């Protein structure tokens, strides 16, 4: 098996945007995760937020961010997303966020799913920062991806 290399560097070590023009389009999907850790008193006050429902606003922000990933991360390609879904759930530790993205393209959607969960988490922070500055955004990671030359990936359970 060929050893993986960093594709954003050319032979001289200069940063470059990867040329995907020779790749075939294929269906590609990705799922990502993040956690906004909240103290119990802050968690109890989420429903009372005068700015609106933090979970719904975070969900919409994550969707919007996924669509603009290429504008935020310099070497990402603009992708036509065929689907993006963001889910924010309350749990005892805080707000757990999942995002799923898909496209039919020449490159994957991992960065779009990761951008979605990160911006959604930052939006939760923004919505409740007046209550607590010690909020933590944790555990941002790729859960799985499908399609493309590198094949499928599924994060192993720890």
Catalytic (active site) residue 126: yes
Q: How many CB atoms lie within 10 A of CB 153?
A: 14
Return the structure tokens found at 7: 């594709």
Residue 56 burial by CB count (10 A; 0-12/13-18/19+): exposed, middle or buried? exposed
Set 10, 19, 87, 126: catalytic member: 126
Residues marked as catalytic: 126
């Amino acid at each position: 098996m060929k050893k993986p290399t960093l594709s954003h560097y050319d032979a001289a070590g200069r940063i470059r945007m990867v040329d995907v023009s020779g790749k075939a389009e294929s269906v590609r999907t990705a799922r990502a995760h993040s956690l906004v850790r909240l103290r119990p008193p802050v968690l109890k006050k989420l429903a009372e937020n005068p700015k609106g429902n933090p979970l719904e606003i975070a969900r919409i922000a994550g969707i919007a961010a996924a669509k603009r990933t290429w504008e935020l991360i310099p070497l990402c390609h603009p992708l036509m997303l065929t689907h993006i879904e963001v889910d924010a759930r309350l749990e005892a530790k805080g707000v757990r966020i999942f995002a799923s993205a898909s496209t039919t393209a020449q490159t994957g959607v991992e960065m779009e799913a990761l951008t979605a969960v990160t911006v959604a988490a930052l939006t939760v922070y923004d919505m409740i920062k007046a209550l607590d500055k010690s909020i933590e955004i944790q555990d941002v990671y790729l859960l799985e991806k499908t399609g493309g030359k590198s094949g499928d990936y599924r994060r192993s359970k720890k």
